[in-house]
Amino acid sequence: MTSYLPSLLVPDTALSVAGLTAYIQAMFEQDIQLRQVWVTGEVSSASRYRSGLFFTLQDPDAKAAIHCVVWNSYLEKLTTIPVTGEQLIILGRIHVHPQRGQYQLIVWQTLPAGEGLRALRYRQLRNRLEAEGLFDPERKRPLPPHPKAIAVVTSPQAAAWGDIQRTLRRRYPGLHVLFSPALVQGNQAPASIVNAIRRVERDGRSDVLILSRGGGAIEDMACFNDEQVVRAIAECSIPVIAGIGHQRDETLADLVADVCAHTPTAAAEQAVPLLADLYLEHQERVLALKEIMNYSLEITQERLQRLRIRLTKLQLDRKLEQESQRLNWMRKRLVQGSLLQIQQAKQHCLLLRQKLETLNPEAVLKRGYAVIKQMNGAIVRSTKGLNVDQDLQIQLGQGQLNVKVTEVLNTATEG
């Protein structure tokens, strides 16, 4: 009979359990890769004790598991508290427990895995940018009511570009639309979008910028949560409309943009008014203006009618007639008074003329008197100072005589 049992070799020396465990512990704890290791898995059980939190991390298919512990001194530093059923990424080191002959992972940090990690990064970046004030409503700029040129940043192959063009042509024909192409998916998309935005700014013709993409999976939207893209939108001197086309999740580009629209078509609708609406508004304003004018005219007519009634009650015609009669009577009195004053003045002038005639030397001469003057014009009033053979002038009422003194008689003496 043939035996298939292996032959037993008796060693010269044998390790103790403690020695073997110490050897394994030294191998694990001195390994550079195991001193700080990232491990991903699903939490299958978790229990809290006074010393810390103990849980088991296993693969989703349950083919492997590892015991983990978070000491109390690290619990408050964890980003995510391990909960049964959650996928985590764990940072820690391998530790061998000699008494139990087991190894475990001493945990320093825990992060959500997969979608959870992406959400964590999104939340951390959002909180940081929000603290800087990039999402404040006060930063939002109003869109121009009637833009002359609009720039669109999107992919040339994206359906969003065609949707935006059709919407702008339908709503606002004749608008100047500028296209700045960019990648909107992949690792190179953030830098491409930033360059496209800066290209529009350098051009300087656009009044509004539309940043758009026609939807897609949340993984494809990563470029719109990139910090470079968010800051480029915040620093853009032109009002930005975000039309990312993803209604379920809000990207950071949506938050920092001046206006957020859920689809490219909605973004184009936000950018320009509908021409038909403008025409309707114009018609409404015309009607409103007519109503205001008609109302004002009615008010004025009513006021005019009230004034007309007041004038009728005042009987102005009768008052005007009375005033006219009063003016005629005053005119007559004025004429009569003037005539009387003129007549009195004439009589007074006549009396004055008579007095003047009486005092007029010529009138005395006309009554037979004469005035004797010396040749120098001095009037002779007495014989004193006259000499024989002196020439004199005699002024008569009519005419004048030149005489010579032949004899001076009755010479006057001074009294």
d(CA 321, CA 176): 76
CA proximity to 164, closest of 253, 226, 245: 245
Report pLDDT for 363. Answer: 67
Report pLDDT for 414. Answer: 46
d(CA 185, CA 193): 10
d(CA 213, CA 164): 10
Question: SS3 string of the chain?
Answer: CCCCCCCCCCCCCCCCHHHHHHHHHHHHHHCHHHHCEEEEEEEEEEEECCCEEEEEEECCCCCCEEEEEEEHHHHCCCCCCCCCCCEEEEEEEEEEECCCCEEEEEEEEEEECCHHHHHHHHHHHHHHHHHCCCCCHHHCCCCCCCCCEEEEEECCCCHHHHHHHHHHHHHCCCCEEEEEECCCCCCCHHHHHHHHHHHHHHHCCCCEEEEECCCCCHHHHHHHHCHHHHHHHHHCCCCEEEECCCCCCCCHHHHHCCEEECCHHHHHHHHCCCHHHHHHHHHHHHHHHHHHHHHHHHHHHHHHHHHHHHHHHHCHHHHHHHHHHHHHHHHHHHHHHHHHHHHHHHHHHHHHHHHHHHHCHHHHHHCCCCEEEECCCCECCCCCCCCCCCEEEEECCCCEEEEECCCCCCCCCCC
Q: How many CA atoms lie within 13 A of 48 on its CB side?
A: 6
For the CA atoms of 274, 277, 283, 288, the dihedral, rounded to the nearest 10 degrees, stands at: -130
Contact 161, 155 (CB under 8 A): yes
At 169, list the tokens: 């042509």
pTM, whole model, 2 decimals?
A: 0.51
Report pLDDT for 377. Answer: 81
pLDDT tens-digit profile, the chain (415 residues): 444 445 556 666 777 888 888 888 888 778 877 888 889 888 888 899 999 999 999 887 767 889 999 999 999 889 888 988 788 889 999 888 888 888 899 999 988 876 556 667 788 889 999 999 999 999 999 999 999 999 999 999 888 899 999 999 999 998 999 999 999 988 899 999 999 999 999 999 999 999 998 777 666 788 999 999 999 999 999 999 999 876 556 889 999 999 999 889 999 999 999 888 888 888 899 999 999 999 999 999 999 998 888 877 777 777 888 888 999 999 999 999 899 999 999 999 999 888 887 777 766 666 667 788 888 888 887 888 788 888 888 887 778 888 888 888 875 554 4
At 299, list the tokens: 């008010």
d(CA 404, CA 205): 127
Q: How far is CA 225 from CA 155, 160, 301, in A?
A: 17, 19, 67
Q: How far is CA 48 from CA 5, 51, 89, 263, 271, in A?
A: 49, 8, 20, 47, 56
CA proximity to 193, closest of 229, 239, 237: 229
Report pLDDT for 365. Answer: 67
Query: Phi/psi class of residue 167: alpha, beta or left (left: φ > 0; alpha: ψ in -120 to 50)?
Result: alpha
Task: Please report how the helices 275-314 and 316-359 are oriented relative to each other, as an axis angle in degrees rounded to 10.
Answer: 60
Residue 387 main-chain phi, psi, to 5 deg: -125, 155
At 18, list the tokens: 């403690």
